[in-house]
Structure 1
Amino acid sequence: MTHFGTIKSYDTSKGSGMISPEKGGEPLAFAKADLQQEAADPKSGQRYGYATSQVAGGKARATNLQPENAKQAQAENQQG
């Protein structure tokens, strides 16, 4: 299931950041490796789609992050 949120912060030197879920709740951590388009660093305020997974300690984290416009382009390409 795809969730949506806004990038709260991203530290390029560490390659990690936080995303705030649109439906509320605590911000979720993510790493550069979790981004679908690893070449482009996310910026605060950008909307991303993501999946979640559980890590040690029961905390959720964001994975498989894609910029909102990438999902729209992908849907348009599938329509033909």
Structure 2
Amino acid sequence: MTHYGKIKSYDSSQGAGTITAEQGGDVLSFGKSDLRQQAQEPQVDQRFGYDTKQVDGGKTRAVNLHMNQGTSEKAAKQQA
């Protein structure tokens, strides 16, 4: 099941970040390898779709992150 959230933080030097779920809940971590498009770095407040996976003894992590072609991106393109 795909979840949606916004990037809370991303550190390009470490290749790691966090995402906040739209539906509430815990802030989830992810790594650059979890991005479908690894060449494009995520920016704070960008909306992404993602799946979750249990790692490290039951800790939940965001995986398979992909850019959402949502309304915020369409609005940004229209303003440009």
Calculate the TM-score normalised by the size of structure 1: 0.85
Q: Helix, strand or coil for the counterpart of 1:69? A: coil
Q: Matches of 1:39 and 1:46 in 2, distance apart?
A: 16
Q: Matches of 2:42 and 2:56 in 1, distance apart?
A: 25
Q: Matches of 2:31 and 2:24 in 1, distance apart?
A: 21
C-alpha RMSD over aligned residues = 1.1
Q: Helix, strand or coil for the counterpart of 2:14? A: coil
Q: Which residue of 1 aligns with 2:5?
A: 5
Q: Helix, strand or coil for the counterpart of 2:9? A: strand
* Unaligned stretches of 5+ residues in structure 2: 71-80
- Aligned residue type for 2:4: F
Calculate the TM-score normalised by the size of structure 2: 0.85
Equivalences, count: 70
Q: Kindly, what percent of the aligned residue pairs are identical?
A: 54
Q: Matches of 2:44 and 2:57 in 1, distance apart?
A: 27
Q: What is the CA-CA distance between 1:57 and the residue it aligns to?
A: 2.3
